[in-house]
Amino acid sequence: MPQQVRSIFLSDLHLGTAACQAERLLDLLRGYDCQYLFLVGDILDLWSMRRRGVHWSEAQNTVVQKVLKRARHDVQVVFVPGNHDEAAREHAGTLFGNIRVELDHEHVAADGKRYLLVHGDQFDKVTRHHAWVALLGTWAYDVLVEINMWLSRLRRTLRVPGYWSLAGYAKRRMKSAASFVSNFEESLLRHARERGVDGVICGHIHVPALREHDGVTYINCGDWVDSCTAVVEHRDGRMELVRWSEPMARVLEALPAPQREPAAAEERLRASIA
């Protein structure tokens, strides 16, 4: 049975690219039912589709169908576009198939706390002022992600459990990347304080996080290219960063035949995520 939560926050799916880990995302969507679904930018990767062509898998198509189905069945879906799907910003304030498009959005959690939802590219000085550097960085990141895809296939072939990210490792090891992430967080927190909200929920930099700074909560949803993370709001308003590193079907396939009990496997996976 899916777990009942109040809200799900997703960002940086990068649908339309080979790097999008749609199978893992589908598994997460099957694992949770919600009242609110927030899409916090870079859902479609129009940049990559223009540069490298469209890669649209069956799993990606199913992701879109599931989102549209939820929107039709009383789930409130809000889409805050990012820089990779910024064309949608021209349609802010419009409903598309019961999905509301907003430049930013203020969400009131069950515990009364107010969260500002923005993609975050507006607070990225490189993207705003040095477009060529941003494009170079995007190219380098794409190369790392492509290498990582081959490594992931090799790990699956060798039946190595879990998920390891080359791009994530590189970001953690580079001091310049750590400085960029810190500056990005500080800019978002400053903006949240100016808006008088209790927290900010964003994406953009593909670095998942959930922490409090002087009474203001910074939450980054991560991505579905590298981190495979989402944020869920529980019924009491508590926010949780969920790491979905291994599709449930693959976990069950990897188990010895006598132990293939879906309920038990799901409990073990959820325990490891928690």
User: pLDDT value at position 157?
Assistant: 73
Residue 263 pLDDT exceeds 60: no
Residues ≥6 apart with Cβ < 8 Å to 164: 151, 155
Predicted local confidence at residue 182, as pLDDT: 84
Q: Which two tokens stand for residue 168?
A: 């994530």
Helix 175-195 vs helix 166-173: crossing angle, to nearest 10: 90
Segment 248-262 shows an average pLDDT of 41
Residue 249 lies in a domain: no
Can you tell me which residue has the tokens 């949770």? 32
Answer yes or no: is 258 within a domain.
Answer: no
Q: Which residue has the higher pLDDT, 101 or 179?
A: 101
Q: Tell whether the model's pLDDT for residue 138 goes beyond 60.
A: no
Compute CA 10 distance to the chain's CA centroid, rounded to the nearest angstrom. Answer: 4
Residue 78 C-beta-side C-alpha neighbours within 13 Å: 20
- Three-state secondary-structure class, residue 228: coil
* Residue whose entry in the numeric block shows the structure tokens 């060798």: 158
Spatial separation of the C-alpha atoms in residues 179 and 84, rounded to whole Å = 23
Cα distance between residue 115 and residue 76, in whole Å: 16
Place of tokens 């589709």: 49
pLDDT at 125 over 70: no
pLDDT at 126 over 60: no
Residue 226, pLDDT score: 84
Mean pLDDT lowest among 8-17, 112-121, 181-190: 181-190
Q: Is the residue at 264 inside a domain?
A: no
pLDDT at residue 172, rounded to an integer: 53
Is residue 248's pLDDT more than 70? no
CATH of the domain at 9: 3.60.21.10
| Mean pLDDT value of segment 242-251 | 62
For the chain, what is the mean pLDDT?
82
What pLDDT does residue 19 have?
87
**254 falls within a domain:** no
Q: What is the mean pLDDT of residues 220-227?
A: 93
- Evaluate whether residue 154 is within a structural domain: yes
Distance CA 92, CA 100 (A): 8
Least confident of 119-133, 137-151, 257-271: 257-271
Decide if pLDDT at 253 tops 50: no
Least confident of 36-45, 90-99, 178-187: 178-187
Phi, psi (degrees; rounded to nearest 5) at 41? 90, 155
How far apart (Å, rounded) are the C-alpha atoms in residues 15 and 269? 26
Domain span at residue 189 reads 3-243
- Residue 230 near residue 243 (C-beta atoms within 8 A): no
In a domain, 27, yes or no: yes
Number of domains in the chain: 1
pLDDT of res. 45: 93
Q: In what order do the strands lie in the sheet with 239-243?
A: 95-96, 99-101, 76-79, 36-39, 7-10, 229-233, 239-243
Residue 268 lies in a domain: no
Judge whether residue 50 has pLDDT over 90.
Answer: no
Mapping DSSP onto H, E and C, the string for 97-163 reads CCEEECCCEEEECCCCCEEEECCCHHHCHHHHHCHHHHHHHHHHHHHHHHHHHHHHHHHHHCCCCCC
What contacts 270, CB < 8 A, 6 or more positions away? none
Tell me the chain's radius of gyration from C-alpha atoms. 18
Which band of pLDDT confidence, cut at 50, 70 and 90, is reported for residue 230? very high
Residue 28's pLDDT is 96
Q: How far is CA 174 from CA 52, 167, 177, 180, 270, in A?
A: 27, 11, 5, 10, 31
Average pLDDT over every residue of 203-216? 95
Tokens for 147? 């290498």
The verdict on residue 265 lying in a domain is: no
One-letter amino acid of 9? F
